Amino acid sequence: MVEGQDGLNWDRWRAIARTAEEVGFAGLYRSDHFTNPVGPFKDSLECWISLGYLATNTQRLEFGPMVSPISFRHPAMLVRQAAAVADLSGGRLQFGLGAGWQDREHTNYSYHLGSVPERMVRFREAVHIMAHLLHTDEPLTFEGKHYQVHEAVLLPRPKHQVPIVIGGSGKQLTLPLVAKYADEWNSGGRSPEDFAEINAYLDSLIEKAGRPKQAVRRSMMLFLRTGRDQADLDRRLAAKPVPDMFRRSGVVATHAEVKTRLKALEAAGVQRAILNWMDDYDDVEGIAELGRAVLT
C-alpha cells in the first residue's frame, strides 16, 4: 500500500504497479486523500482514476482504496464507480470504505466532515445504500438523515462480486457494521494478542447477524519502515525519520523481523497483511526486495 497524497504521480504509480505484480504481491492498495494532515502539499493522484488504470494495466493484482471516505462522494455515485471498476478488472477490486477523518483536506476543498457522531450516522446510511445497490436488483427508496434516494437502482448489474472492506475497531458502531455488511474487516496495526481478542468479539457479532464467520476476511494494515538488514534500515531512518503520527501503530524492522511478525499475525487470524510502504516511492527496487524477502 502507498499513501496516494504523499507524492504519488503517474510515473510512480505505473512503476509501483509493475513491480508489485512482477514480484508476486497479492494486491496493491492506496489511500484516498487530497493532502497529508500536516506539512507541504505533494502530488496526489486521484484515487478512482488510478484504480481504473490498475483494472486494465495489471493482470493478477487485487487492488482498492484503503479507504474511500464517503464524505467525498455521494454513495450512489461511489458505488457506480466501484461496480464499473470491478467489472473492468474482472472482479479484482476490493471496495474499501471509511467515514472520513482528516480535517485539513475537508476544510481546504470544502467538503463537510462533521463531528464523529455525525460521520458515523452518515457512514452507516451510506453503507446501507451501497450494499443494497450492489446485492439486490430491487429499487431502493431510503429516507435517512444525510441521504435520500427514491427507487434507486444500479445498472448495469455488476457481473462480479464487489467485496466491501470496512476498517476500524469501534465496538459500538464500526464492528457491528462489519458484521452486517462487510466482506472484509481491516484492522489497524496491533499486536497478535490484541488482534485475536477483537477478532473473537467480531466473530460473536457476525454470528448474531446470522452470517458464517468465514464470510468476513480478516486483514491488517501496517505502516512499515524496513530494510534488508539493520544497517540498511538505519540508513533509511536517517534519511527519512518516522513521522510522529505513525510511531505507535507502525512497524520498524528488518525484512527478517517483518516476516517473523507476519507469521505471528497469521497465527492470530490475520488472513492478509497490507504493508504500507512509508519510504521513497521511487525506490521500487526496495519494494521488490521486501516482496522477495517476505513472500518466500
Residue 125 shares a structural domain with residue 171: no
What confidence category does residue 127 fall into, taking pLDDT thresholds of 50, 70 and 90? very high
Q: Is residue 89 part of a domain?
A: no
Residue 150 shares a structural domain with residue 169: no
**Burial (0-12, 13-18, 19+ Cβ within 10 Å), 247:** exposed
Please give the share of the chain, as a percent, with pLDDT higher than 90: 94
Residue 138 shares a structural domain with residue 248: no
Residue 117 shares a structural domain with residue 147: yes
Domain end residue (candidates: 154, 186, 204): 154
Q: What per-residue confidence (pLDDT) applies to 296?
A: 85
Q: Using CA atoms of 6, 80, 222, 13 in order, give the dihedral in degrees to the nearest 10.
A: -40
Please give the single-letter amino acid code of residue 142.
F
Three-state secondary structure call for residue 17:
helix
What confidence category does residue 244 fall into, taking pLDDT thresholds of 50, 70 and 90? confident
User: What is the spatial distance between Cα 180 and Cα 254, in angstroms, rounded to a whole number?
Assistant: 38
> What grid cell was written down for 217?
476476511
Q: Is residue 280 part of a domain?
A: no
Q: What per-residue confidence (pLDDT) applies to 58?
A: 98
- pLDDT higher than 80, residue 8: yes
Q: What per-residue confidence (pLDDT) applies to 168?
A: 87
Phi, psi of 132 (to 5 degrees): -60, -50
User: What is the spatial distance between Cα 16 and Cα 1, in angstroms, rounded to a whole number?
Assistant: 10
Q: Is residue 119 part of a domain?
A: yes
Residue 175 shares a structural domain with residue 248: yes
Question: Containing domain of residue 147, as a range?
Answer: 1-83+94-154
- The whole-model pTM stands at 0.94
What confidence category does residue 132 fall into, taking pLDDT thresholds of 50, 70 and 90? very high
Residue 138 shares a structural domain with residue 43: yes
User: What is the spatial distance between Cα 90 and Cα 22, in angstroms, rounded to a whole number?
Assistant: 19
Q: What per-residue confidence (pLDDT) applies to 248?
A: 72
- pLDDT higher than 90, residue 264: yes
Phi, psi of 241 (to 5 degrees): -60, 160
Distances (CA, A) of 49 to 28, 77, 130, 246: 15, 14, 20, 27
The C-alpha R_g of the chain, in whole angstroms, comes to 19
Chain-wide mean pLDDT for the chain? 96
**3-state SS of the chain: helix, strand, coil percent to 5?**
45, 20, 35
Q: Mean pLDDT across the stretch 241-262?
A: 87
What confidence category does residue 170 fall into, taking pLDDT thresholds of 50, 70 and 90? confident
* Run of H or E residues at 251: strand 250-254
Which tens digit of pLDDT belongs to each residue from 53-107? 999 999 999 999 999 999 999 999 999 999 999 999 999 999 999 999 999 999 9
* CATH code, 28: 3.20.20.30
Residue 214 shares a structural domain with residue 120: no
Residue 108 shares a structural domain with residue 212: no
Q: Is residue 88 part of a domain?
A: no
What confidence category does residue 250 fall into, taking pLDDT thresholds of 50, 70 and 90? confident
Domain end residue (candidates: 154, 176, 199): 154
Residue 150 shares a structural domain with residue 167: no
Q: Mean pLDDT across the stretch 260-275?
A: 96
Residue 167 shares a structural domain with residue 295: yes
Residue 24 shares a structural domain with residue 122: yes
- pLDDT higher than 90, residue 242: no
| Helix-helix angle 10-23:284-294, to 10 degrees | 20
Q: How many domains does the chain have?
A: 2
Domain end residue (candidates: 132, 154, 176): 154
Please give the single-letter amino acid code of residue 271.
Q
Q: What per-residue confidence (pLDDT) applies to 84?
A: 98
Residue 23 shares a structural domain with residue 141: yes
